[in-house]
Amino acid sequence: MFDKDTVYIVGDAQSSSNNPITQQYSAFFIGLVVDTSNHKIVEASCSSTIQLTSDFTRSLFVGHSILDLDKVGDEIRYRYFGSSQKTLIAAFKDAHKKYKQAIAYREKQNNQTE
C-alpha cells in the first residue's frame, strides 16, 4: 500500500482535560505517512471523536512537507477552529521532531551499509 521510501510517524500532545478526545484517548495523536525522498506527507489521520475531524485534519497535512513547520502551523491556525487547534499544532511539532530523528537514523544505517 505504501512505497518503501515512506515512514510512519506519530506525533502526540496533551489536550485539555475537558476535551472529548482526552476523555476518550487520554491524549491527542496524529499519524503521518511521509515520503522520505521529498518529505511530503502522503497520508494522515488523528485521534478524534468525529470522523469529519479526522477527514479535515487529513486535508491540512497531505501534500505538505513535514519539514515546513511554519506553513503547516499557519494552515492549521487559518483553517482549523476546533478546541484542539493548539494541540494539533503541538502534535505536528512532535511528529516533525520524530521525523528528523528517523531520517538521521536511516542516513546512519545507509552510511554503515555502504
User: Residue 64, class by beta-carbon neighbours within 10 Å (0-12 exposed, 13-18 middle, 19+ buried)?
Assistant: middle
- Residues 70-114 have pLDDT tens digits of 999 999 999 999 888 898 999 999 999 999 999 998 888 878 776
- Residues 44-75 have pLDDT tens digits of 998 877 889 889 999 999 999 999 999 999 99
Please give the CATH architecture assigned to the domain spanning 6-113. Alpha-Beta Complex (3.90)
